[in-house]
Amino acid sequence: MRDTGRHDEYLEAMGIQRWVARSARSGMAADPAGGKPVPVPVPGDDVSSAGWEALQASVAACRRCALHETRTQTVFGTGERNAGWMIIGEAPGADEDRQGEPFVGRAGQLLNEMLYAAGYRREQVYIANILKCRPPGNRNPLPAEVNCCHDYLERQIELVQPLMILALGGIAAQNLLHTELSVGRLRGIRHSYGKSGIPLIVTYHPAYLLRSPLEKRKVWDDLRYARQVYRELAARGSD
Q: Which residues of 1-27 are buried (b: 16+ CB within 10 A; e: fewer)?
A: eeeeeebeebbebbebeeeeeeeebeb
Q: Are residues 111 and 201 in the same domain?
A: yes
Predicted confidence (pLDDT) at residue 115 exceeds the cutoff of 70: yes
Q: Are residues 86 and 134 in the same domain?
A: yes
What does pTM read for this prediction?
A: 0.82
Query: pLDDT value at position 237?
Result: 73
- Among 41-55, 89-103, 158-172, where is mean pLDDT lowest? 41-55
Q: Are residues 116 and 147 in the same domain?
A: yes
Q: Are residues 51 and 113 in the same domain?
A: no
**Helix (H) and strand (E) counts for the chain?**
9, 8
How far apart CA 36 and CA 43 sit, in angstroms, is 21
Q: Are residues 150 and 212 in the same domain?
A: yes
- The mean pLDDT of the chain is 85
How far apart CA 82 and CA 63 sit, in angstroms, is 28
Q: Does 100 fall in a domain?
A: yes
* Domain, as residue range, for 43: 27-61
Q: pLDDT tens digit string along 121-152?
A: 999 999 999 999 999 998 999 999 999 999 99
Classify residue 108 by burial, with Cβ atoms within 10 Å: 0-12, 13-18, 19+. buried
Q: Are residues 163 and 234 in the same domain?
A: yes
Q: Does 116 fall in a domain?
A: yes
Q: pLDDT tens digit string along 206-234?
A: 999 999 999 999 999 999 999 999 999 99
Q: Does 10 fall in a domain?
A: no
- Among 40-49, 198-207, 226-235, where is mean pLDDT lowest? 40-49
Q: Are residues 121 and 94 in the same domain?
A: yes
Residue 38: pLDDT band by 50, 70, 90 thresholds?
very low
Q: Provide the residue type at 232 as one letter.
A: E
Question: Domain tally for the chain?
Answer: 2
3-state secondary structure 164-203: EEEEECHHHHHHHHCCCCCHHHHCCCCEEECCCCEEEEEE
Q: Does 3 fall in a domain?
A: no
10 Å Cβ neighbour count for 187?
19
CATH of the domain at 88: 3.40.470.10
How far apart CA 83 and CA 158 sit, in angstroms, is 12
How far apart CA 216 and CA 234 sit, in angstroms, is 26
Q: Are residues 54 and 95 in the same domain?
A: no
Q: Does 111 fall in a domain?
A: yes
